[in-house]
């Protein structure tokens, strides 16, 4: 099955700086790559996604890039704010299922 | 707004008990999912369903079963709870049979098996 690796596991950034989270996947048949944000006490919520026919997608301060050849994708958050502090999960869709990375705990320091 | 509700936020059960976790969604979604979340392991898929009375095994189905008698309701059953099933359980739903679309998650049930 699909194997998704996510790095780093924890990330501390100064407010206003950028944060980058990277994921790799193993199965070249994967064709959909969402990113979820999980705040304390809540279920994960989709923040952005990208499909395999697109190389980059941006939504305000959040962007995702996909390199199909290298089988990796990344989440970029610019101008980080305290409300960006959360756990972020990447995922890859294959064989009707999502496989998730282990998660990255992001802390934005004021 | 899509709403996915789970029957309990916290649950404490004893080893060997039969445990039912209930999930209800209000957006007429075809697909429903059960995951467990453990530190350092992310979310792992236990079972999913793409239609009423249909079910498919996920990556870690051992020790679990599911039931989907109505489109809006998906139940996870631990036939004989064990301590290694202590975890956070998350339910999710999405539209479009077996297509990759946004999954909407419930708040989770933290299950402790003593």
DSSP state of A84: G
Sign of CA dihedral B99, B105, B109, B113: positive
**Measured distance between the N- and C-terminal CA atoms of chain B, rounded to whole angstroms:** 37
Decide if pLDDT at B102 tops 80: yes
- Confidence (pLDDT) at B11: 97
What is the SS3 string spanning A13-54? EECCCCEEEEEEECCCCCCEEEEEEECCCCCCEEEEEEECCC
Distance from CA of B64 to the nearest CA of A (A): 18
Nearest one of A33, A34, A24, A20 to A3, comparing CA atoms:
A24
Q: Which of A43, A98, A102 sits opposite B40 (nearest CB)?
A: A102
Residue tagged 């290298």 (tokens) = A70
Q: What is the mean pLDDT of residues B4-30?
A: 96
Which of the four pLDDT bands, split at 50, 70 and 90, describes residue B88?
A: very high
Residue tagged 């305290």 (tokens) = A82
Angle at Cα A13 formed by Cα A77 and Cα A83, nearest 5°?
60
Contact (Cβ atoms closer than 8 angstroms) between residue B105 and residue B23: no
Total beta-carbon pairs less than 8 A apart between chain A and chain B: 55
Distances (CA, A) of B107 to B5, B30, B78: 7, 20, 19
Q: What percent of chain A has pLDDT over 90?
A: 94
Kindly report the average pLDDT of chain B as a whole number.
Answer: 95
Q: Write out pLDDT tens, residues A27-72.
A: 999 999 999 999 999 999 999 999 988 899 999 999 999 999 999 9
Burial label for B102, CB within 10 Å (0-12, 13-18, 19+), is: middle
Shortest CA distance from B46: residue in chain A: A97
Q: What is the mean pLDDT of residues B65-83?
A: 97
- Confidence (pLDDT) at B98: 77
- Confidence (pLDDT) at B2: 66
- Confidence (pLDDT) at A54: 83
Contact (Cβ atoms closer than 8 angstroms) between residue A64 and residue A49: yes
Which of the four pLDDT bands, split at 50, 70 and 90, describes residue B99?
A: confident
Q: What is the mean pLDDT of residues B59-87?
A: 97
- Contacts A53 to B, Cβ<8 Å: none
Shortest CA distance from B89: residue in chain A: A43
- Confidence (pLDDT) at B97: 80
**CB burial readout B46-78, b (16+ within 10 A) else e:** bbbbbeeeebbebeeeeebebbbeebbebbbeb
- Confidence (pLDDT) at A98: 95
Q: What is the mean pLDDT of residues B86-90?
A: 98
Cβ separation of B107 and A31 shorter than 8 Å? Answer: no
Q: Which of A44, A46, A102 sits opposite B41 (nearest CB)?
A: A102
Cβ separation of B45 and A49 shorter than 8 Å? Answer: no
Q: What is the mean pLDDT of residues A69-90?
A: 97
Decide if pLDDT at B1 tops 80: no
Within 10 angstroms of residue B99's Cβ, the number of other Cβ atoms is 13
Distance from CA of A32 to the nearest CA of B (A): 7
* B88 touches A: beta carbon within 8 Å: no
Kindly report the average pLDDT of chain A as a whole number.
Answer: 96
């Amino acid at each position: 099955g699909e194997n998704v690796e996510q790095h780093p596991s924890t990330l501390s950034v100064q407010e206003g700086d950028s944060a980058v989270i990277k994921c790799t996947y193993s199965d070249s048949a994967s064709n959909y790559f969402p990113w979820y944000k999980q705040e304390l006490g809540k279920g994960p919520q989709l923040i952005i996604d990208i499909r395999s026919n697109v190389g980059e997608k941006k939504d305000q301060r959040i962007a995702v890039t996909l390199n199909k050849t290298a089988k990796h994708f990344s989440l970029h958050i610019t101008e980080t704010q305290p409300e960006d502090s959360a756990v972020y999960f990447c995922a890859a869709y294959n064989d009707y299922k999502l496989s998730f990375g282990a998660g990255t705990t992001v802390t934005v320091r004021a | 707004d899509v709403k996915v509700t789970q029957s309990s936020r916290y649950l404490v059960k004893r080893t060997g008990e039969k445990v039912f976790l209930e999930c209800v969604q209000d957006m007429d979604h075809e697909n429903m999912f059960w995951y467990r979340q453990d530190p350092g392991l992310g979310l792992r898929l236990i079972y999913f369903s793409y239609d009423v009375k249909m079910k498919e095994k996920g990556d870690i189905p051992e020790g679990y079963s599911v039931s989907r008698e109505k489109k809006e309701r998906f139940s996870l059953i631990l036939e004989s709870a064990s301590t290694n099933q202590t975890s956070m359980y998350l339910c999710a739903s999405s539209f479009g049979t077996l297509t990759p679309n946004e999954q909407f998650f419930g708040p989770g049930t933290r299950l402790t098996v003593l």
